[in-house]
Amino acid sequence: MNLTPKEIVEYLDQYVISQKDAKKTIALALRTRYRRMQLSEELQSEIMPKNILMIGSTGVGKTEISRRLAKMMKVPFIKVEASKYTEVGFVGRDVESMIRDLVIASISILKEEKEEQNKEKIENYVLNKIVEKLLPPLPESASQSKKDDYQRLLEVMERRVNDGGMDDKIIELEVDKIHVEFSDTNLPPEMAKVQESFSKIFESMNKEDRKKELSVKDAKSILRVEASHKLLDMNSINAEAIKRAEDGGIIFLDEIDKIAISSKSQGRNDPSKEGVQRDLLPIVEGSSVTTKYGVINTDHILFIAAGAFHVTKPSDLIPELQGRFPLRVELESLTEETLYKILTQTQNSLLKQYEALLGVEDVKLIFEDEAIRAIAKLSHRANEITEDIGARRLHTVLERVLEDVSFNAHEHKGKEFVIKSELIHEKLDLIVEDDNLSRYIL
């Protein structure tokens, strides 16, 4: 969390081109969370998060910003689609399940951290168990010389197990039954606990042999889970995870425009729309949600909502919900130059992905600059003629251009294949300019 707003924007710049306003607003919101945590508890409780509403056409970077935030932040973060929820009482997911999802994400982060802190203990547990199976211990009555020989053998065996030299060896391992928790966050916590109780009863009734024959490589994975289960205190992890979710949790609520109802619409009683908005109000404003790990307060969870608002507009959301998203930021439509930069300046851009994929077939794919500019130009033109789907148009266009090269990759093995502007125009000019063709093909 200790990143300055400038560092957050610089990180996002590597993956999302333009959209400076959106990046700046999000960076400030995240930094404010860090600043709040440095204050006294009394003041912390008074400072509420400023929820953000991002408005922009599809494919301009709203979801990409959320994906990158999730990778960058070491705080509980989930991305959910508003359109998959229904009003309480109807079949479907209720909005409280997103808070339960956030708690599970928080537990997962904290568990990984604890496993990293206890990595040495976990690896020692795994090593001792495997070496014990490969080299059974000597009886107490063994002579000193045999014990010395055994110790030397033990050291050699430990090195070989660590280096992977014994991965193919088959050993017999007594596998502990590790209880798998149900994570259906749409179930009420009481019902989830009942379901888990039944699960434990059936597990205890199941008397199947716990001894399994498996390779050392597979045994390592199973024993790491077993070691983690034995060494970590899950009760304290769950309690800390709830606290972390309360103070630093972020929920990215995508497709929020899909639950807005236009004033012209007749379906104002749609259970998946206005009812969902009403159910969202207390959660966004601040309420207590019961989970099977404990009660979580949503007062300080940051909500970032995003929507294209093609059919509806932000004012079509119910006024109370509008008021809970005080920060509004509009994302710009993508220009031809922006599309060119997306192809050339982003980390792991689409061009790099295709170069790497065909590199597997030993084909060196080279894109001339003129060809890249032609791709950007024709993608922008296709967005103008048909529906504007932003950067997603690049996926369709590039797949169309590289279809034959990819299909016949085996014929170009060990060679360079240069993508020139002529090939781009040959493949796309007719399709882009023909309105009917571009609607169906691009």
pLDDT at position 283 is 92
User: Which pLDDT score is estimated for 385?
Assistant: 85
Question: Is residue 284 in a domain?
Answer: yes
Residues 314 and 421 in one domain: no
Choosing from 330, 349, 364, the residue where a domain stops is: 330
The pairing of beta strand 211-215 with beta strand 170-174: antiparallel
Asked whether residue 151 falls in the same domain as residue 56, the answer is: no
Tell whether the torsion through CA atoms of 111, 192, 284 and 296 is positive or negative: negative
Q: Is 125 left (phi over 0), alpha (psi -120 to 50) or beta?
A: alpha
Q: Regarding predicted confidence, which is higher, 72 or 372?
A: 372
Question: Is 441 among the domain residues?
Answer: no
Question: In this structure, is the dihedral angle defined by the CA atoms of residues 264, 265, 269 and 275, taken in order, positive or negative?
Answer: negative
| pLDDT digits 0-9 by tens, 57-98 | 888 888 888 888 877 877 889 999 988 887 775 666 788 899
The reply to whether 82 and 117 lie within a common domain is no
Q: Are 217 and 282 members of one domain? A: no
Residues 356, 300 share a domain? no
The answer to whether residue 439 is domain-embedded is: no
Same domain, 252 and 178: no
Residues 160 and 209 in one domain: yes
Q: Are residues 91 and 134 in the same domain?
A: no
Residues 312, 352 share a domain: no
Given 216, 238, 260, the domain boundary residue is 238
What's the whole-number mean pLDDT along residues 351-370?
A: 92
Tokens 């994302």 -> residue: 331
The verdict on residue 13 lying in a domain is yes
Q: How far apart are CA 18 and CA 13, in angstroms?
A: 8
Is 438 part of a structural domain of the chain?
A: no
Q: Which two tokens stand for residue 327?
A: 């920060």
Between these two residues, 370 and 132, which has the higher pLDDT value?
370
Model confidence pLDDT, tens digit, residues 204-225: 555 555 677 788 888 888 888 8
The band of 384, judged by pLDDT with boundaries at 50, 70 and 90, is: confident
Q: Is residue 348 part of a domain?
A: yes
Kindly state whether residue 392 falls inside one of the protein's structural domains.
Answer: yes
- The CATH number that applies at residue 265 is 3.40.50.300
Buried b (16+ CB within 10 A) or exposed e, 110-137: bbeebbeebeeebeebbbebbbebbeee
Look at the block and give the residue holding tokens 């894109």. 367
Per-residue model confidence as pLDDT tens digits over 116-172: 999 889 888 888 888 888 877 777 777 788 877 888 888 888 888 888 888 888 887
pLDDT tens, residue by residue, 90-131: 666 788 899 999 999 999 999 999 989 998 898 888 888 888
Query: Could you give the CA distance from residue 253 to residue 307 in angstroms, rounded to a whole number?
Result: 9
pLDDT for the residue 198: 57
Domain co-membership, 234 together with 117: yes
- SS3 string of 128-145? HHHHHHHCCCCCCCCCHH
How many structural domains comprise the chain?
Answer: 3
Lowest mean per-residue pLDDT among 183-192, 286-295, 314-323, 352-361:
183-192
Of the candidates 180, 215, 238, which is a domain's last residue? 238
Is 357 inside any structural domain?
A: yes
Range of the domain at 142: 111-238
**Mean pLDDT, rounded, of the chain:** 84
Would the pLDDT of 180 be above 60?
no
| Listed residue (14, 8, 13, 19) closest to 56, CA to CA | 19
Kindly list the distances between the CA atom of residue 334 and the CA atoms of 7, 18, 170, 330, 338, in Å, as whole numbers in the listed order: 24, 9, 57, 13, 6
